[in-house]
Copies of this chain bind each other. A is one copy, B any other.
Amino acid sequence: MSERIGWIGLGELGFPMASNLLDNGYQLTVYNRTRSKAEPLVERGAQLATQPSELAAKGGLVVSVLWDSDATESFVTPEFLSRMEGGVHIGMCTGSPEAAQRLAKLHAEHGSTYVEAPVFGRPEAARARQLAIPYAGPQEAKNRVKPLLTALGGHALFDMGEQPGVPTVIKQLGNFLIISMGRSLAEGLAIAEGAGVNPTAAVNMLAESLFPVPIFRNYGKALAEKKNLLTTSKIPAKDLSLFHRLAEDHARSNPITQTLLQLTLAVDK
Give Cα A232–Cα B180 distance, bound, in whole angstroms. Answer: 23
- Does the CB pair B191–A257 fall under 8 Å? yes
- Does the CB pair A206–B173 fall under 8 Å? yes
1/0 per position for A162-190, CB-CB distance to B under 8 A? 01011001101110111011011101111
Q: Which residue of B lies closest to A206 (CB)?
A: B174
Give Cα A189–Cα B250 distance, bound, in whole angstroms. Answer: 12
Number of copies: 2
| CB of A38 closer than 8 Å to a CB of B | no
Write the nearest CB–CB distance from A98 to chain B, whole angstroms.
10
Report B-chain residues with C-beta under 8 Å of the C-beta of A165: 195-196
| CB of A114 closer than 8 Å to a CB of B | no
| CB of A243 closer than 8 Å to a CB of B | yes
**Chain A 124-172 interface residues, beta-carbon cutoff 8 Å to B:** 132, 134, 156, 158, 160-161, 163, 165-166, 169-170, 172
Give Cα A254–Cα B189 distance, bound, in whole angstroms. Answer: 11
| CB of A42 closer than 8 Å to a CB of B | no
Report B-chain residues with C-beta under 8 Å of the C-beta of A177: 181, 184-185, 188, 206, 210-211
Contact of A173 among B156, B174, B188 (CB under 8 A): B188
| CB of A252 closer than 8 Å to a CB of B | yes
- Does the CB pair A187–B257 fall under 8 Å? yes
Interface of A is mostly: helix
Q: Known: A160-B201, A185-B177, A259-B259. Contact between A252 and B206, CB under 8 A?
A: no
| CB of A97 closer than 8 Å to a CB of B | yes
Report B-chain residues with C-beta under 8 Å of the C-beta of A156: 208-209
Write the nearest CB–CB distance from A220 to chain B, whole angstroms.
10
1/0 per position for A85-115, CB-CB distance to B under 8 A? 0000000000001000000000000000000
Report B-chain residues with C-beta under 8 Å of the C-beta of A259: 255-256, 259
Give Cα A259–Cα B97 distance, bound, in whole angstroms. Answer: 28
Report B-chain residues with C-beta under 8 Å of the C-beta of A257: 187-188, 191
Q: Known: A255-B263, A256-B259, A256-B260. Contact between A192 and B213, CB under 8 A?
A: no
Give Cα A186–Cα B255 distance, bound, in whole angstroms. Answer: 11
Report B-chain residues with C-beta under 8 Å of the C-beta of A132: 205, 209-210
| CB of A251 closer than 8 Å to a CB of B | yes
Give Cα A134–Cα B165 distance, bound, in whole angstroms. Answer: 44
Given pairs A194-B247, A213-B213, 16 additional interface contacts (CB within 8 A): A134-B205, A169-B197, A173-B188, A173-B189, A173-B191, A173-B202, A174-B206, A176-B188, A177-B210, A178-B210, A180-B181, A180-B256, A183-B256, A187-B252, A187-B254, A191-B243
